[in-house]
Chain A
Amino acid sequence: MTDRVLAVSWWCQSTTAPWTWTPKAYVGVWAMVAVLLGTYGVAMRRRARTEGLTSRDKRAILWFVLGTLALWVASDWPLGLLGSGYLLSVHTTLYLIYTMVAAPLMVIGIPDWMARRMIDRVRGWGAYRLSTRPWFAVLLLNGVLVFTHIPPVVDAFRASQIGSFALDAMWLVSGMVGWLPIVSPFRGDRVQSPVWKCVYLFVAFGLFPMLPGAFITFSPVPLYRVYELAPRFGDWTPEDDQQLAGALMKVGNVPILWSVIAAVFIKSALEQSRSEQRVGLVDDDGNPVAATPPVPPTPVS
């Protein structure tokens, strides 16, 4: 594929052209970002005019924009192209960005009123309810993870722009579903118990990815034709690249996953502390306060 053809490409796909640091334009990526931010901005503007924005809405805007930016960075040149056609390790990094960064930020960035309107519009309450069930979210997230890392699937999907887009879209959607039980726009639909939240996060995002990660790391031969036959990127061999990719899949999620788990625990501890303070079980320094017997009224002579 020549540079001229790449210049009008829609989405990143595998290519036989040697890697260069000359930027390429992917109009599909730009269109996706524009549509996401545009529709989100219009909805927020309408809300601001009619009912005004709460502080929670304003924070949501920040999260959504950050999530969309993460999506953009992962989909556009250079990361998108490197991951689609040159390096499996970047492909794995893209998976992590889609599912562990972009997806949760975008879900957090959707306020409940907006989510309600969106789901109403597509009549998707059934799908939404199912997606908030932890067993289903784990199954979908990791089913997509495994399916989109089967070598023939990757080779086939990455060979075309549509296929490559479909792969990325599956990652984003499965990532959003995976985070719904934790950060659903409707707080009542989230897993409530902090312990169960941590268990869910570990199982959904930490445990299952270890299996394909190990499979990729310890394979004696390169598994993916698309990356094995790609023009070389620097001095990296396909074996080096694949081992790095496997390691990333196994432990690349650790910083995000364990930060979130830690945050869940800290938040839970703080809430518990505040709650105990409210009922007078601890003083301002957190020390237990001995229950004092009620003082009998002083008799008035």
Chain B
Amino acid sequence: MAIDAPPHPERAPEAPAPRSARGPFALITVAALLVAAVGVIAFLRDDGGDTRPPAPTWRGATVEPARSRPSFTLTGTDGQPYDFAARTAGQLTFLFFGYTNCPDVCPISMATLTQALHDLPGVGAQVVFVTTDPSRDTPERLQEWLGHFEGKVVGLTGTPEQLAAAQQAAGATVAIAEQPDAGGSYTVGHSAAMNVYTPDDLQHLSYPAGTVQSDWMADIPRILAQPGWNGAGSVRVTAAYASPGTGGAGAAYLSVTNTGGDDAIVGITSPDAAAAELHVTSGTTMREATELALPAGATVQLAPGGDHVMLSGLTRELAEGDTITLVVHFREAPATTVQAAVVSYDDLAGRMAQAADAPGGGS
């Protein structure tokens, strides 16, 4: 815009500085503006680059080896038992441990995820919120609070022991309530991660607090399209339990479903035990095996009185309510980490039978 101002008596005195003095200023300013413009263009290109191949990295943290979908049963907002592994088996599932009085992380994490799922039509997913503050989060309170978010969110509660076991089963740090203040108000320290279970019933990814809606919208379609994660042709550990261990030894039991081609369990390791051996039983004899066949389409159970995992050199005594980490190695499928809940020997047979009857062989 060229504007010629006529001479005016109140015009500022002509610049006493030589022209070169304002040259660098103009140059620097224009350069800064150009840099800003390039930044804007770069940002816009990045935001709208849907046609480019997906980036090789995830917005969340990868879980390696992948963890199995955890097994726990809590109480839903309708007062009915909710078997997490069975009710969510084979589905993309988001699991979060938090509490409704949480001032920041919980409402924000839930809002960003549920809004993203709402904006991604056609994505079928289960969102499960497990309270870490059962004394204040009654089923009614949970239902009312979860109603603020887009879509359906399953709210679960239970006894403190049940909730602690559920967190351990999911590999989360067990939440701790802080001391109440003078007004009786308190906060709860809890895991802020959003655990993502894919249709292959494994957890490959964990998303930290601070994951925003655009992160979810970028990653969820890629998660569902990820080869091997969509449940087709995969091996799933649908139940894992252990018996109380004494004298440094114990046993673990698994239910494994193979919906793909022939495969085999080729080993089991545990950070909680010096050794974990596959023991197969034939009649009255028991022997150590180097592998256990997983025929295509079959569910194989290592159950009390039959095949099992022999644990020795346990790093701690295993008591009811504990969990122990097992890593199951397959010949074809990727290794899977599971948290085996320690239950009494009397309960083991019933739990494993329940796992065999569940949809998809899940517990």
* Chain A residues packing against B (C-beta within 8 Å): 16-18, 112, 115-116, 119, 123, 125-130, 134-136, 138-140, 143, 146-147, 150-153, 181, 184-193, 196, 199-200, 203, 220-222, 225, 228-232, 237-239
Which residues 270-287 of B have a CB within 8 angstroms of A?
A: none
Q: How far is the CB of A68 from chain B (nearest CB, A)?
A: 23
Which residue on chain B has the smallest CB distance to residue A199? B1
Q: List 8 A-B contacts (CB under 8 A).
A: A128-B12, A134-B1, A143-B32, A147-B39, A150-B36, A153-B39, A189-B8, A232-B111
Which residues 204-220 of B have a CB within 8 angstroms of A?
A: 210, 212-214, 217
CA distance A231 to B106 in the complex (A): 10
Which residues 1-38 of B have a CB within 8 angstroms of A?
A: 1, 3, 5-17, 19, 21-23, 25-26, 29-30, 32-33, 36-37
Q: Which residues of A contact B6 (CB under 8 A)?
A: 192
The total of interchain contacts (Cβ-Cβ below 8 angstroms) comes to 133
Q: Which residues of A contact B1 (CB under 8 A)?
A: 134-135, 138, 196, 199-200, 203
Q: When the two chains form the complex, which single residue of B10, B22, B26, B36 contacts A143, counting CB atoms closer than 8 Å?
A: B36
CA distance A134 to B5 in the complex (A): 11
Most buried by B among A115, A127, A229: A229
CA distance A135 to B26 in the complex (A): 12
Which residues 36-62 of B have a CB within 8 angstroms of A?
A: 36-37, 39-40, 43
Asked if B22 and A129 make an inter-chain contact with CB atoms under 8 angstroms apart, the answer reads yes
Which residue on chain B has the smallest CB distance to residue A222? B213
Q: Which residues of A contact B112 (CB under 8 A)?
A: 228-229
Q: When the two chains form the complex, which single residue of A18, A146, A181, A225 contacts B103, counting CB atoms closer than 8 Å?
A: A18
Asked if A126 and B119 make an inter-chain contact with CB atoms under 8 angstroms apart, the answer reads no
Q: How far is the CB of A145 from chain B (nearest CB, A)?
A: 10
Q: Which residues of A contact B22 (CB under 8 A)?
A: 125-127, 129-130
Asked if A136 and B26 make an inter-chain contact with CB atoms under 8 angstroms apart, the answer reads yes
Q: How far is the CB of A208 from chain B (nearest CB, A)?
A: 12
Q: Does B115 contact A (CB under 8 A)?
A: yes
Q: Does B104 contact A (CB under 8 A)?
A: yes
Asked if A143 and B11 make an inter-chain contact with CB atoms under 8 angstroms apart, the answer reads no
Asked if A188 and B11 make an inter-chain contact with CB atoms under 8 angstroms apart, the answer reads yes
Q: Which residues of B contact A136 (CB under 8 A)?
A: 26, 29
CA distance A62 to B96 in the complex (A): 57
> Which 6 A-B residue pairs are closest in the complex by CB-CB distance?
A188-B8, A126-B22, A188-B11, A147-B36, A125-B15, A143-B33
CA distance A230 to B112 in the complex (A): 11
Known pairs A130-B22, A134-B1, A146-B40; list 11 more (Cβ under 8 Å): A123-B21, A125-B22, A126-B21, A128-B12, A129-B22, A143-B33, A147-B36, A150-B43, A152-B43, A191-B3, A191-B5
Main secondary structure on chain B at its contact with chain A?
helix
Q: When the two chains form the complex, which single residue of B5, B104, B111, B210 contacts A237, counting CB atoms closer than 8 Å?
A: B111
Q: Which residues of A contact B310 (CB under 8 A)?
A: none
Main secondary structure on chain A at its contact with chain B?
helix
CA distance A127 to B26 in the complex (A): 8
Asked if A126 and B17 make an inter-chain contact with CB atoms under 8 angstroms apart, the answer reads yes
Q: Which residues of A contact B189 (CB under 8 A)?
A: none
The verdict on A189 contacting B11 (CB below 8 Å), with A222-B212, A225-B212 known, is yes
CA distance A123 to B104 in the complex (A): 50
Asked if B10 and A134 make an inter-chain contact with CB atoms under 8 angstroms apart, the answer reads no
CA distance A138 to B5 in the complex (A): 17
CA distance A34 to B217 in the complex (A): 47
The verdict on A221 contacting B3 (CB below 8 Å), with A126-B15, A139-B33, A229-B108 known, is no
Q: Does B233 contact A (CB under 8 A)?
A: no
Asked if B43 and A225 make an inter-chain contact with CB atoms under 8 angstroms apart, the answer reads no
CA distance A130 to B26 in the complex (A): 7
Q: How far is the CB of B38 from chain A (nearest CB, A)?
A: 11
Asked if A143 and B37 make an inter-chain contact with CB atoms under 8 angstroms apart, the answer reads yes
CA distance A138 to B30 in the complex (A): 12
Q: How far is the CB of B216 from chain A (nearest CB, A)?
A: 9
